[in-house]
Every structure is written in structure tokens, then in C-alpha cells.
């Protein structure tokens, strides 16, 4: 490998300097460009296609559940935000305000949406009249601005990001509770099936819930860098927004009722999590199901075999249309240069074909994640490639599950918790669920936060909080997190 | 029809009070809700699904042409806008400015993008180095804010709208010229094939071109209300932005060159044009190719046949899954009520089935645009429905073409022009192409503007401008317009 070829590769190691490694992956794999406005990033085509594929996965699941897409205005009058007290307190420190248009001052400041509960529910109040209008299930795909003052990290914490926000209205609390979990399940499916990332489904603590919600459910994961991250959330809003925005409906008995609401969101943060999870010192790794291009065909040219090999490579690429393969027949790059580039960009499988392979009626498949080489008979290529892609997809998830398992410490004492935090692990413990206890845990661990209280796990009878010794009310995950 | 049923219908006629008719269609067919911010509208699910289908049509054509999607920040530093002089002059009166975030004043105002040339090209300057980086073809689907102070009209003129903006960079002027036309052709295809609306492709006058462009091409149409409208534009930007943003590339001979650029946009305005074009006094008409749901099945219940008819209706709906049909088996609505509702919402075909139809082994198809009834044998339903949808699609376009033809006056004198404008027609005339002449024509006609100079039509030798009598340089369309 020539010196110049090395330099275009990633020069930091994931295990040595995670932050520098991440910056190099997102810039060198052509995912992100930094803009002149701090915290705002360009999603380059390599990143946007990942978002498109995530959108398409989620959108079809939403539609199966009877959700319809709509679009509400970007700009929200200040007085809307003020109507739900907890909500405005939570969001106003981060709002970007439009105060002037053309050469005129606006009479009332307009917020760029930090989330759309307030503007959507203002309209819902007009749309909902009777029980026949329920459930109302509406989603929008849009951009969001939250002017955070923490250190920005591309994808993970940016001042503008893309997301979908779903906002459902249900007749009863029970329906809301079920709906909240159903939408969370869709998110968990997207992470596990498409992104090959295992998640923990559970309930956020009171302190960590959405501003204005009755409760928040989340999916969380633990990443190779030794930090946890919230992947997506589904909020039970209860009736507080309905009351603030005067949403009501007439039930079957002609009685006026207040409905129950939920909201649920999934953002471009998911792309950051994906990169941090699966990528390696050679660059991006895209799970096959997520990848737009499943494979790249690289002809291996020696001396006078060029025409023959190129023509075979082209034939191969044509045969593999269903995999949306790339044919890299550039003449000004060496095969080695091409290998590096496509590894950097995360194409799941490389298909090599050279003069000897043609003689032997074979091709070489190389897996992006393991570098494993497979010699495959030409006539079996289609089937073998399918198989390999499936294996790679399930291996990625399996390995991630193993990593999650080995990163989880079931702590029986606070000392074990403190040691596990030092070891960059995630802790599973018994908890009293009190906010004061949560604050103290954070202080004493130098910043570890509760992730969520996993569904389906009950505290043992008589168990005590691993931190404060009071009666335990739930199992909780605790870790340092993004 | 009961009195109550009538009231939910449209109470204005398209020919009598076009503006009131339009307002009723967009609100009663569940397309639009008015927000509290003047000029900003909610796109309800009925409108958004049309946009999704338009997106999907255009996006696949763009991708065929090698265009990649990306996403650039919403907020643009003021100094970017100022770099191209014509551009800032054109857009600054309409910019919405963010000046505060949280509780802090920003050091520099940020513009909400009125269009993204400036921020995109700032990045292009970093991305483009050599001829190998060209052509660069990038598109983004996003929201746009232009704080116009003219009377807003939902879809047609709103302060926030959705669009796509494509921004290509080419090595030579010739490639740019071809590319500009190629992208305009995609837009024309979308209007004609999908929306069933005929358009005129041509060149905008100097006065009407995009701020900062060398020239602008457009597609234009003439609407039943007797006004023309610009449907979409594709701009040849030449080298002015490349120079302002210092975009350059090294050519095959190692010489540094300035590239050529174009930009092209298609907005939610298209939905307004669609509604105004095809819809009628019963409500929305959606061309079959555009419709998400091609048909609705309405069981016609008499006395004790309910179960039998409902079960047949359900069977029908299941058989017609590929048409994404709606089954309207609500029990609290009469068939008549349902007919009205689905006509209002523009479903292309209604499928009726009653006890007599079951006996005769037939169903009834009713076309939304003509109300024509077709009795169809059950076993032929699938084929006949396909045929009917195709016929309806081509008839809509054919009728629109006839209307455009009969609305066009080829004027040989200025008196004929003036009369035609009074008659709410579109004029085709010979023109000198001078801006002063254009201003005068506008004044003398009470506001008629040039639409475009159609491609492929040359002035006859020695022809004079129909308005001022100077030598004619082009054929031009002139009309009052939105």
C-alpha cells in the first residue's frame, strides 16, 4: 500500500481515541460536513441514504398501524409553547426565535419547532369532535431545531436534526398505554432488525421523562465506547396537553370526554449510534439490510487480461442487479485503493474477480465486518451472496448482543456499582425510584444516569435499593451516557 | 339527499366563485387547515399523501439521472446570502431571521433558508477539486420559508412550503445547458404523466428569471380559472455563484477551471395547481396514477341483504388489493352520504355492489370525473378497473390539452392581445424581448405577465413585436397569472 493510499484511510484506532476515530469515520466515509454554524451539520449523500432507508422501514410500519403522515408549520407562535407549563419550562432554554422578517419586526416571536406537540394539538382541538374521530394517528417527517449549549457531536447532539414525530389521540388511558408500547416496539424492531443493534425497552425515571408527559418509555443501548445512549422514545402524555389545548370528544353516550395522547420520535441520532456500534478501524460498517448497495464488484487486472476481466466484472454486476451492486471499473485506481475506499464506505460485501477466478469459474466474496474470504462457484454466486448477507446481518446483531451481555454488571452493592462505572460497564440494580436518590447516584459516580427501568423485570420481594437501602420498587439500568 | 348531507358538500360553484370554491375544496376534502400564522398552512394527510406520491415519482427519476439526496442546514449565516449580489437583492426582502436562541442574542443573524444555493455552494467549494468530482448532482427535500407580503393562497403562495431543490455542477457550459433542460423535462413528465396537466416548456424573460441566474427555464400551464401559473423552474446559474463561492476544479490538463451550475425546484404548489385544474363542484378529482387509493367499494344495502352484501363487498375489496381500495362498510352512513364523501375526496372510481348485482354476478363502476356508470361482470372486474383507470388518466390529460388549446389566442395585433386578456385567455405573440416593452405590456393589460418563450418555436423572418413593433426575437406566452 502506497503512502498516499494510507493517508486517505483512518489514522486513529477505535479503541485508542474513540472521539478522533469517530470524527475521521464520519468525514472520510463522506457522511458529514461541518457547517459554519456550530452544531449544524451537512448530511452528505452517504448519510442521507441511510436516513432514507430508515425512513422507509419505519414509515411502512407506521402505515400498517393506521398512522397517516401530515405536515405542520415550522414556526410556532410563542403563546402556544406557553400553554403547557412543564413543556415550556423544558424547551424554552433551547428555542431558536424568529423575530424579524424582511425589514419588519414581528409582533410576536415565532419559535422554530423544538417539537410539535403545541402546534399540532392546537389543530387537533378543531379536528376531534366525536368518538368516531378516534383514534387519530398522525406522524410528520421534518427538521427540528434545539439550540443546545452542550458540546455538539455530529448525529448524536446537533442543533438541527431530522426526525419523525408521531402524535396519537386515543379514547382511553388503556388504549394510550398500549399504543405507547406498540410504537416503542416499532422502534426496537428498527434498531434490532435493520440496524443490528440490541436495545433495552423500558420506562424512564420521573426525572428523565419528556417535559409535560405522564411517563416516557425508551429504548436504550450500550456502546463499544463504554457509554449508554437513548435510541428513541415514546411518551404517554396523559391528558395534560388535551386539557391545555382544549381537546375533547363526545363519546357513544353523548358525554363529553377528555382524550389521552401519546407522542413518539426517532431521529438521525440513530445514524450516529449505528456508526459508533458497528464501524471499525477501516471505516464504516453498514449492516446488509440497511445498505443501499449490498456489494461492490472490483475487477482484478493483471497485464493483458484487462478487457476480459472487465467484461466479466460487468456481466457479474448486471447479473446482481437485485443487490444494487456497484461496479468499480475505474482505471486510474489500483485494486488496493478500491478495497480501502469501499471498506471505508461500509459496503457489506466485496466481490473480486481476476483472470484466475475466470479460469476456475469462481469469484471471491469478502465480508466487510470480518474480512473473511469465500471462494464461490459462478453459478452459485446469487445464492451464496444472499446467504452471506443474511449471515453478516445476524452475526452483527449476535455479536452486539454478546457485547451488551458482557458489558452488563448485575450489582448487589453500591461498591460494585462504583467499580463497574469505573470499568465502563452498564449496571443493572434494584432501585427505590426516588429522584433524590437518582441525583445522589449521579453525583457519586461522576455523572452516571438511569437509562430506563426494563419492562417485564420485577424486583424480588423484600429487595432494597442498591444505592440507598430503601425498599426497591424497580429494576433499573445505570450508566454513563451520551 | 337529506339537507344535512348537502351542507357537508361544496356550496359554491367553480365557474361562479372560483376563490370560494377553492377554499371549500381544500378544507372540506381534508387537505388544508389554516394556522394562526398568516400564510402558513397545515398539510393534512389528504394533501400530504399527494406530496408523497409526487416525491416518489420525481425522486426515482432524479436517481436515474445520477442525482443523490443530501440535507443541508436550515439556518444560513447572513454573510453567505450577501455574497452573490443579485441573489441577495432578490431574496432579502422575504427572509425570516433568527436573532435569538434561548435567552441569548446571536452574534450574526441566521436566515431560514429561502433557497439553499448559498449554503450548498459554500460546501461545494470544499468538495470539488478535480474533473473527477464532476458532475456533482445533489438534491434535497426540505421546507422553505419566504415571508411574502402578497395575499397568501394555500399551496400556491404560502410563507412556508415544501419542495425539492437540486443543485448540479458541470464542467462545461454545454453540459449545463443540457442538464437544465433534462431536469425541466422530468418536471414536465411529472405534470403531464402523473398530474395529467399539460405544460409549456420554455425560457423565462430576463425580468422573470431567478435572482442570480444566467437564465431560467420553466414549465407553465393555463388554468380553468382563466389564469396562468408557473409550475416549476430549472435555472442555468452560469458561473456567477461558482465565482462568488470560489468553486473551481482542475481539468484533465491540470488547468484550474470555473465550473457551471444549475438549480431546479418543484414545490407543493403543484398540489394547488392539480386541485384547481381537475376538481369540480363535487370536490377533489385525483388522477388515477396519482391516487393512493384507486377505488372505494360501497355496499348497497336493502333490508335483510346486509350480511350477504357486506360479505361480497369485503371479498371484492380483498381481491382488489393491488388497487389499494377502500372498503366503506360503515353502518351509520347511507350509501348516498358515502358517495358524496368519496367524491369530495377525489377517489377515482366508486365500486357499488348491491343484492341485484350479486344476483347478476356484476358490479357497478362509477368514474369520478364523468360520473359515467359501467356494469361489469365480476370475473372481468380486475381488467375493467385497470382499463377504466387508464382511460380516466388519459382523458383528464386530453381534456386539459383541449382546454389549453381553446384558451390560447395567437394574436397578430395589440388590440387582439388586449381583447384576449379581457376574455381570460392566454396569448401567444411575437416579442422583442426587451424589459421596457415587458413593463409596458403589463401596465397596459392590467397585470398580464410573460410566461415563457416556448422551446422549438422560432419567430418568422421579418416578424415584428406584437406590442411595440420592433424586430421580434422570440415567440412568447402572455397571460394574467398567479
Distance, CA of A190 to CA of A61 (rounded, Å): 10
Report the share of chain A in percent with pLDDT over 90: 92
Calculate the CA A254 to chain-centre distance.
43
DSSP B152: P
Calculate the CA A402 to chain-centre distance.
20
Mean pLDDT of chain A: 95
Contacts of A47 in chain B (CB under 8 A): 70
Contacts of B40 in chain A (CB under 8 A): 73-75
The three-class DSSP label of residue B320 is coil
The three-class DSSP label of residue A467 is coil
What does the pLDDT look like over A431-452, one tens digit per residue? 999 999 999 999 999 999 999 9
Say what the pLDDT of residue A2 is: 42
The answer to whether residues A70 and B42 touch, using CB atoms and an 8 Å cutoff, is yes
pLDDT at A304 over 90: no
Residue A375 grid coordinates: 471462494
Nearest residue to A293 (alpha-carbon basis) of A366, A345, A359, A367 = A345
Distance, CA of B273 to CA of A178 (rounded, Å): 42
Q: Find the distance separating the first CA and the last CA of chain A, reported in whole Å.
A: 37
Closest chain A residue to B80 measured between Cα atoms? A36
Instruction: Measure in Å the smallest separation between the Cα of B149 and chain A Cα atoms.
Output: 10
Q: Where are the alpha helices (DSSP H) in B261-411?
A: 269-278, 306-319, 335-344, 355-359, 381-406
Q: Find the distance separating the first CA and the last CA of chain B, reported in whole Å.
A: 37
Contacts of B95 in chain A (CB under 8 A): 101-102
The answer to whether residues A236 and A180 touch, using CB atoms and an 8 Å cutoff, is yes
Contacts of B49 in chain A (CB under 8 A): 68-69
Identify whether A252 is preceded by a cis peptide bond (ω within 30 of 0): no
Contacts of A109 in chain B (CB under 8 A): 100
Distance, CA of B121 to CA of B353 (rounded, Å): 58
Is A44 at the interface with chain B, CB within 8 A? Answer: yes
Domain ranges, ordered by start, for chain B: 11-74+117-278, 295-387, 408-479
Q: Where are the alpha helices (DSSP H) in A228-302?
A: 240-244, 269-278
Contacts of A92 in chain B (CB under 8 A): 102
Say what the pLDDT of residue B6 is: 46
Contacts of A94 in chain B (CB under 8 A): 101-102
Q: Which CATH superfamily is domain A295-387 in?
A: Anticodon-binding domain (3.40.50.800)
Confidence class for position A5, pLDDT limits 50, 70, 90: very low
Q: Sign of dihedral through CA atoms B467, B473, B475, B480?
A: negative
Of B95, B97, B145, the CB nearest to A99: B97
What does the pLDDT look like over A451-465, one tens digit per residue? 999 999 999 899 999
Residue A53 grid coordinates: 432507508
Best residue in A30, A56, A95, A96 for a mutation probing chain B (most B CBs within 10 Å): A96
CB pairs under 8 A between A and B: 148
Angle at B289 between CA B283 and CA B295, to 5 degrees: 60
pTM above 0.90, yes or no: yes
Its CATH architecture, for the domain A408-479, is 2-Layer Sandwich (3.30)
Inter-chain contact A94–B73, Cβ cutoff 8 Å? no
Of B48, B70, B73, the CB nearest to A69: B48
Residue A141 grid coordinates: 417527517
Question: Which residues 51-70 of chain B have a CB within 8 Å of chain A?
Answer: 51-52, 68-70
**Cα torsion at A88, A89, A91, A92 (round to 10°)?**
80
Inter-chain contact B102–A149, Cβ cutoff 8 Å? yes
**Does this chain's domain A11-74+117-278 share its CATH topology with A295-387?**
no
The answer to whether residues A146 and A157 touch, using CB atoms and an 8 Å cutoff, is no
Of A93, A99, A160, the CB nearest to B74: A160
Distance, CA of B448 to CA of A408 (rounded, Å): 73
Is A37 at the interface with chain B, CB within 8 A? Answer: yes
Inter-chain contact B37–A77, Cβ cutoff 8 Å? yes
Is B403 at the interface with chain A, CB within 8 A? Answer: no
Confidence class for position A6, pLDDT limits 50, 70, 90: very low
Is B43 at the interface with chain A, CB within 8 A? Answer: yes
Is A339 at the interface with chain B, CB within 8 A? Answer: no
Nearest residue to A265 (alpha-carbon basis) of A115, A112, A113, A65 = A115
Say what the pLDDT of residue A259 is: 98
What does the pLDDT look like over A88-132, one tens digit per residue? 888 889 999 999 999 899 999 999 999 999 999 999 999 999 999
Instruction: Measure in Å the smallest separation between the Cα of A122 and chain B Cα atoms.
Output: 9
Angle at B216 between CA B214 and CA B221, to 5 degrees: 170
Radius of gyration of chain A (CA): 25
Q: Which CATH superfamily is domain A11-74+117-278 in?
A: Bira Bifunctional Protein; Domain 2 (3.30.930.10)
The answer to whether residues A275 and A155 touch, using CB atoms and an 8 Å cutoff, is yes
Nearest residue to A283 (alpha-carbon basis) of A48, A21, A85, A94 = A21
Inter-chain contact B43–A71, Cβ cutoff 8 Å? yes
Is B138 at the interface with chain A, CB within 8 A? Answer: yes
Per residue, the 3-state secondary structure of A84-151, as one string, reads: CHHHHHHHHHHCEEEEEECCEEEEEEEEECCCCHHHHHHHHHHHCCEHHHCCEEEEEEEEEECCCCCC
Say what the pLDDT of residue B84 is: 83
pLDDT at A4 over 60: no
Of B48, B69, B72, the CB nearest to A71: B48
Task: Indicate the range of A140-144, A222-226, B194-198 predicted with least confidence.
Answer: A222-226
Best residue in A63, A71, A116 for a mutation probing chain B (most B CBs within 10 Å): A71
Is B8 at the interface with chain A, CB within 8 A? Answer: no
Q: Which residues pair with B353 in a beta bridge?
A: B299
What does the pLDDT look like over B122-152, one tens digit per residue? 999 999 999 999 999 999 999 999 999 889 9
pLDDT at A317 over 80: yes
Instruction: Measure in Å the smallest separation between the Cα of B36 and chain A Cα atoms.
Output: 8
Nearest residue to A389 (alpha-carbon basis) of A266, A249, A480, A293 = A293
C-beta atoms surrounding A257 within 10 Å: 16
* CA distances in angstroms from A420 to A163, A223, A404, A481, listed in the order given: 34, 15, 14, 14
Distance, CA of B294 to CA of B146 (rounded, Å): 35
Backbone angles phi, psi at B129, to 5 degrees: -125, -50
The answer to whether residues A217 and A184 touch, using CB atoms and an 8 Å cutoff, is yes
Inter-chain contact A49–B69, Cβ cutoff 8 Å? yes
Distance, CA of B155 to CA of B54 (rounded, Å): 14
* CA distances in angstroms from A70 to A128, A475, B141, B290, listed in the order given: 16, 38, 15, 17
Distance, CA of A44 to CA of A54 (rounded, Å): 16
Q: Give chain B's residues under pLDDT 50.
A: 1-6
Question: Which residues 84-113 of chain A have a CB within 8 Å of chain B?
Answer: 92-103, 109-110, 112
Residue A243 grid coordinates: 386539557
The answer to whether residues B24 and B12 touch, using CB atoms and an 8 Å cutoff, is yes
The answer to whether residues B25 and B12 touch, using CB atoms and an 8 Å cutoff, is no
Q: Which residues pair with B427 in a beta bridge?
A: B409, B478
Contacts of B123 in chain A (CB under 8 A): 33, 35, 42
Nearest residue to B236 (alpha-carbon basis) of B268, B199, B206 = B206
Inter-chain contact B70–A112, Cβ cutoff 8 Å? no
Amino acid at each position: 500500500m502506497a503512502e498516499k493510499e494510507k493517508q486517505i484511510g483512518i489514522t486513529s484506532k477505535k479503541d485508542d481515541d474513540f472521539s478522533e476515530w469517530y470524527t475521521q469515520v464520519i468525514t472520510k466515509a463522506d457522511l458529514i460536513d461541518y457547517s459554519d454554524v456550530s452544531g449544524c451539520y451537512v448530511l452528505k449523500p452517504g448519510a442521507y441514504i441511510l436516513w432514507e432507508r430508515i425512513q422507509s422501514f419505519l414509515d411502512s410500519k407506521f402505515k400498517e398501524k393506521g398512522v397517516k403522515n401530515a405536515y405542520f408549520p415550522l414556526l410556532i407562535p410563542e403563546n402556544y409553547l406557553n400553554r403547557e407549563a412543564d413543556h415550556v419550562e423544558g424547551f424554552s432554554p433551547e428555542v431558536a426565535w424568529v423575530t424579524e422578517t424582511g425589514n419588519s419586526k414581528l409582533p410576536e416571536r415565532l419559535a422554530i419547532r423544538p417539537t410539535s406537540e403545541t402546534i399540532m394539538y392546537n389543530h387537533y382541538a378543531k379536528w376531534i369532535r366525536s368518538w368516531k374521530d378516534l383514534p387519530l394517528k398522525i406522524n410528520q417527517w421534518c427538521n427540528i431545531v434545539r439550540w443546545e449549549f452542550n458540546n455538539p457531536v455530529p448525529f448524536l447532539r446537533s442543533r438541527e436534526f431530522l426526525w419523525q414525530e408521531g402524535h396519537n389521540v386515543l379514547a382511553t388511558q388503556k388504549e394510550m398505554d398500549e399504543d405507547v408500547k406498540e410504537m416503542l416496539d416499532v422502534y426496537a424492531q428498527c434498531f434490532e432488525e435493520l440496524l443490528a443493534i440490541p436495545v433495552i425497552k423500558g420506562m424512564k425515571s420521573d426525572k428523565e421523562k419528556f417535559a409535560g408527559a405522564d411517563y416516557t418509555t425508551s429504548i436504550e443501548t450500550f456502546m463499544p465506547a463504554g457509554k449508554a445512549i437513548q435510541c428513541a422514545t415514546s411518551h404517554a402524555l396523559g391528558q395534560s396537553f388535551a386539557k391545555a389545548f382544549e381537546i375533547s370528544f363526545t363519546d357513544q353516550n353523548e358525554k363529553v370526554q377528555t382524550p389521552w395522547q401519546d407522542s413518539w420520535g426517532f431521529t438521525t441520532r440513530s445514524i450516529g449510534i449505528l456508526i459508533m456500534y458497528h464501524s471499525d478501524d477501516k471505516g464504516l460498517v453498514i449492516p446488509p439490510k440497511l445498505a443501499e448497495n449490498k456489494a461492490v464488484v472490483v475487477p482484478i487486472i493483471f497485464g493483458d487480461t484487462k478487457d476480459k476481466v472487465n467484461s466479466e466484472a460487468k456481466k457479474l454486476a448486471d447479473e446482481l442487479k437485485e443487490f444494487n451492486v456497484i461496479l468499480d471499473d475505474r482505471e486510474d485506481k489500483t485494486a488496493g485503493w478500491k478495497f480501502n475506499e469501499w471498506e471505508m464506505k461500509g459496503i457489506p460485501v466485496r466481490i473480486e474477480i481476476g483472470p484466475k477466478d475466470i479460469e476456475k469459474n469462481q469469484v471471491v466474496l469478502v465480508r466487510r465486518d470480518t474480512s473473511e474470504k469465500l471462494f464461490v462457484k459462478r453459478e452459485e454466486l446469487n445464492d451464496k451472496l444472499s446467504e452471506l448477507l443474511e449471515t453478516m446481518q445476524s452475526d452483527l446483531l449476535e455479536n452486539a448482543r454478546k457485547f451488551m451481555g458482557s458489558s452488563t454488571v448485575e450489582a448487589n452493592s453500591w461498591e460494585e456499582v462504583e467499580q463497574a462505572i469505573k470499568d465502563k460497564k452498564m449496571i443493572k440494580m434494584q432501585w427505590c425510584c426516588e429522584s433524590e436518590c437518582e441525583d445522589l447516584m449521579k453525583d457519586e459516580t461522576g455523572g452516571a444516569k438511569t437509562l430506563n427501568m426494563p419492562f417485564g423485570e420485577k424486583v424480588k420481594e423484600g429487595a432494597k435499593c442498591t444505592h440507598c437501602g430503601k425498599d426497591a420498587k424497580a429494576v433499573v439500568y445505570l450508566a454513563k451516557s451520551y
